[in-house]
Structure 1
């Protein structure tokens, strides 16, 4: 059930738990949900003193938002692209790999960077390549690269031709 939307019955159990004076963690365990999900649900819908399950369910139906995934940029001429491969297949594989990394506990941006490095033809990408390919800010790339470097998953290599730093997956 984690990852799915809260049902009306879930919300009724949250309301009952709040009335009984249970903690968010106890309610979350009973529902098999993360504590943060219960906390956000209650705080979004009136707080512990004013939470009403039916009203919260109606509000939850109105606020359905979907995260959109940035489309990968066109292959770059420096070898970071997808030479000869079907871009849609590569995009699907990259999305699947990213999801697997996220499910294993890796932060979302670090997972996206690692998946991009795994699916590139050249085996390495510069920060600028990653910014274009993932359609994110250089700061987001920098933070993700720092995390992956600290974990020993990737490392920097100086490109002698362009003097740019390239990120490569470690051995």
Structure 2
């Protein structure tokens, strides 16, 4: 009789244990899903300086700093950046509808109506553009249009340009250039 009573107690305890340990699929998913940490800032104004000299000023209405496998900062609602020369004068300004700064790579990916203008009025337009902070170069593998004094160049597949647009290399250019009498571009 005691053995039978012990078996009933053991059986009921086991059933109670099994029933009490059940979690819904949603609860398990909530506890085990990957969590991405994110900071948010509005009306952003940031200065980038090197060795005490201001090199760039960034303004954006909204910024997300995301801590995932790769730490990045996302500007989902437009961004504007002024780049300064060594005498603290604006040499180039940049506008884009979206941008993403990858901290570990020290690079910025810009997309959706990217526009770069230097103080001479030279203009670079493209759908997307990378900016490498270390080399101070812009580059893309997509189509781009460059307007300058007496010239318009359409690049069908990519370009590389210095930050001040003083040197631009198109990978597959087409366009018109005004040339002097000796046959060289003006």
TM range (shorter): under 0.3
- Name which structure has the greater RCO, CA cutoff 8 Å, separation 6+: 1
Q: Which has the higher helix share?
A: 1
TM-score after normalising by structure 1: 0.27
Q: Which has the higher strand share?
A: 2
